[in-house]
Structure 1
């Protein structure tokens, strides 16, 4: 149907790549077949244009040249699972395959939940890419289709037969009966459960290195026989392989007996992982019992909040970043996948604090005018202990309960317990530092809901960090957190003073240079900002957030080409950062490169951002390209999200 090329955009350094798909039409093709092929190609373009998901390669630009049809897509580096399997010369590791397939389930859940649902129809190892970061990307939607409830069968029966469900053939027969001219089966069209079958067949191939038999459900024990290394358990005197049970369930001939959604299959796959990995995934275990091929696995629906992939937690500030983030969005600290909250927030013995339902009301404060390090220590008010807290004479118990509550994001209880520990004579620095963290985290958690309450809590957080520094004036963490509080309060000179003190204590921390660069940039001190950011990049050349800040700085100082280069580098390091793509789009706008700007803004949309500025910027670009209908649509999207968006309102008057 087509050929895909890897192409390089000329004049960029480092190189910038796209994948370009060309529709192949033989010169001997009839006019009817040609029109059908072009129609299918255009349908793929329209379908891809509607998809914005981190696990689906994004459409960049459709075009025609010399009578040929093309479209450019995001280039996905890495290898397909087909290539990985070929290079391995044997079955792939079970745990890794399960993790990859859970990621595929995330993409399937997304397309199956569209209105109307989108059915991939050609899910197989060759269409699943694994990036160098070990992330899954689906790359071929050539025969995908939108589900039509009014149809009795598929218009075209396409797909790769080894991975195709019975309904791919346009009809299904009664289990045990052979398909023949006399018994063609009952007409049926593919739905989301056809992709579930294909995913099971893909797993069969990856875990056995045998291509699955077409339209066949594997017999119990057959997969384990092909790969004895698969994890097995003794259940009722029988040896049961959980991952085999999932594959058998997915590949049932009767689609009513398969998993009824990709999310249900993802939950079942989770239970096939080791217990330690399940705990890290933070999703309840789904037990898969022994079963016959016709038995249904009952998978309880999980709340949306429990199945969303959790991103890394910053070990410095405790911020939960998006999945795949390499640097903390809040403080710029380098992240490690699977990191946990700061050591102070963990306990050897968990003590459950009583929940506090009232919002945390910070007392008013005016301490922020005085220099860092001045003033006396905080005199905390004694707070009555919560249920289950031990004697008032032991501050350690209240301190541990406060840390546990902080770790559980129960900030009101954390404050109560830490104040109690302070009143009982606990170690002042440790308590005050964590009390500051509790107030700051609460202030951040309500920033988008109640700005005034957020500011009050941030002020009180600054008080605690200042008080902590009275007991330990060489604490890098306290100075850094105090600087973050001042930045959140827009007290930039005080923030700069705190970060410089932190830098004197730890001159090799890139996150400090990042914060100093941002603080200087926000004050208009461009020369200082560039100096800090460049030094930070010397220490951490792959710091995407630092590159975004440098790109912004170059934009502010009208160094457009340097801005574009810095931001291109940023998106190559972190292609899922909508902020980086958005700033790159703005840089291309300054260069009047409207098509490149549109591509960058579309990538910003793809990563899931709902920022109205993306849509107003797209509208601006479409107007420059004289595409008024698309501009009007983007303005509607921008104003739907923010009715006061200045750029959108200005452009609306032009239209």
Structure 2
């Protein structure tokens, strides 16, 4: 929920307007308290106390990475980051306020393609900003370039915003850790691999492993231009066919080269959106030069055949088969109002669309008979293991006459999108269908297991039986993934987490030991081994694992927190206090660190210090009943009954069944 207008943040910034809201937070326009009329933008990461720990950690890590990336960026087309801070358990950073409108808003208001020359000049500025971030050491890859992330100021200046999923390029990595982004503008390598021209991904042809690099932003810029100049989102991960862009916008400028009519800006877009990164412009500067030559009055650029291109080639892609391009006026126009209907959201898309414009759902085209593999799809849904859900699994409706794709990769992609959107039941359906249509691969098995695990976690506090059943299925598929790829660190680690959640501690230990064998310097593995040992009451063994983890990463807040709890449980209170103080230093936002520190002080009969730590916990999570119960105990021990009663009322208001609060109530 957005903060009320007028809220003061960090004692310096007054909220005056909500600029945008998402599932993980909000962007505000704020006024500096000491400088009336001077505005900034504040981005908020909202931490939901009910969020699973893994998701919480990932969200905070992405937010902190965004801060780290932007802090040293100084470019006229990128807003500067001013300061970051934490307040009320949430994370914030302040940056320059950019007045104006995003290009998707401008496109919506224009109700049609934007002016070609204006788009070219805007995109040249975007190229300059990309050249700057790509030239950093190491290079910064934006990974989510799209019309909504490009602002145009009232003066016509261009500002590149939202570095939320940007990353630093690591030449030693083969794929991305996370494949995030907006599907219509994402490069093929966002999925982690690319195939040869004209080939499709399949279990037999998984493609060459790659990670996103600077050329991935080039693809996204081409896709953005496609949208701006046609008023239609591009087909996800597809290179436009020659002539297709002019067919959607006959007003685009054409020139005659060697007796052939070509459209310079169309050829720039096609080159930028090549499937293989080696066939795109190799730098943002090369694309800027190409765009400049597309402006009226420039010399006619050469047409260059793909893939025989130089990194700085300007225009690309001759007509198919080497024949002259068809004049725009003679190209067939798509029929209106007869496009496929999205089976998820019901939107009628344009004719020929392969993915829904609204939600990215794959769309089915074609013949007038129900294909045999519709039955195969239904059988796959029916074969889902018992206990996956207690709601009916909704098979996606298919229009009569629309053949279902038998490409397992299509279902795998759809499953990834559902998983990213937390549509866990739908993701399970899609991954199961991908398995039914092809040979089981590590990626599909691992993703299916993730979907089961995340679905189980969403049920943890709602339905214990469903939680257990789905977590069991997650463990089964992670085990299959491990069998498919023996040295898969992530699968071993996730399998250990599943067994830990299921209380199967020997199996959890075995899985984490395998992960330790693969990555002996990963502190997180020692943390989990320590957790498994503590669950079984093996305190000395747990201490050994946790101390080994701290040798690898002395500032690992979770290891410090676990070690502090261990020392408290074994009545080593001074050691517990020392370690927990270090945990709160490493991660001041972690409420559990402050709460456990307060409890450790209480066990040592240090009531004032306990209250100080518990107050820090209360500021970070004011709805947690046990914090108030602990504070009531401290006040009672200090013979401050008025304060104790007040804290007791607060505790019972939040949890009427709190055992500690009810016990204290009898004493008071």
TM (normalized to structure 2)?
A: 0.47
Structure number with greater CO (CA < 8 Å, separation at least 6) is 1
